[in-house]
Amino acid sequence: LPAILTPALSSRGAIADAIYRCVLGLDTNDSALFDSAFTSTATLSINDKISSGLPAIHTDCFDVISKLDTTHYVTNIRINIADSGVKAVATASVIAQHYGSGKGLQPNQPRLLAGALYYVDLVKDDSSELWKIETFKMTRSWAEGDWGVMSAN
């Protein structure tokens, strides 16, 4: 599906869609969809490791996760839109399953299952009318499995 959906989403739906574009881009190795979720100057923080700007986010996150066999489930999204209508904050609960590249359907493979909370600041992009992530903070709550999966490209 394209980054801009039709018919147009409500503001709340479009804000949630920015988070969905991010994780679906990771799960499908779709850099264009992933990039559509972020401003070019966005920051991504995973347990206090900060990546600044889209190139760094690619190096530290997309280039690692998108090569794995993953599924991210996002739920419990709560959204607050500022009075200006062009800024918003959102929180979400996430569970993500990770397998080595090409290993997800093979039996008895090492895997990493993790739960996290997302804290996201978003802005409405004037040129595309898409909501985009300006600041993305992920805090892992728990994990079980093999952390070696994360480097098993």
pLDDT digits (tens, 9 = 90+) for 13-29: 999 999 999 999 999 99
Residue 153 has pLDDT above 80, yes or no: no
> What CA–CA distance (Å, rounded) separates 75 from 93?
5
Q: Are strands 38-46 and 49-52 parallel, antiparallel or unpaired?
A: antiparallel
Say what the pTM is.
0.94
Residue 47 has what pLDDT? 85
- Measured in degrees and rounded to the nearest 5, phi and psi for residue 87 equal -135, 150
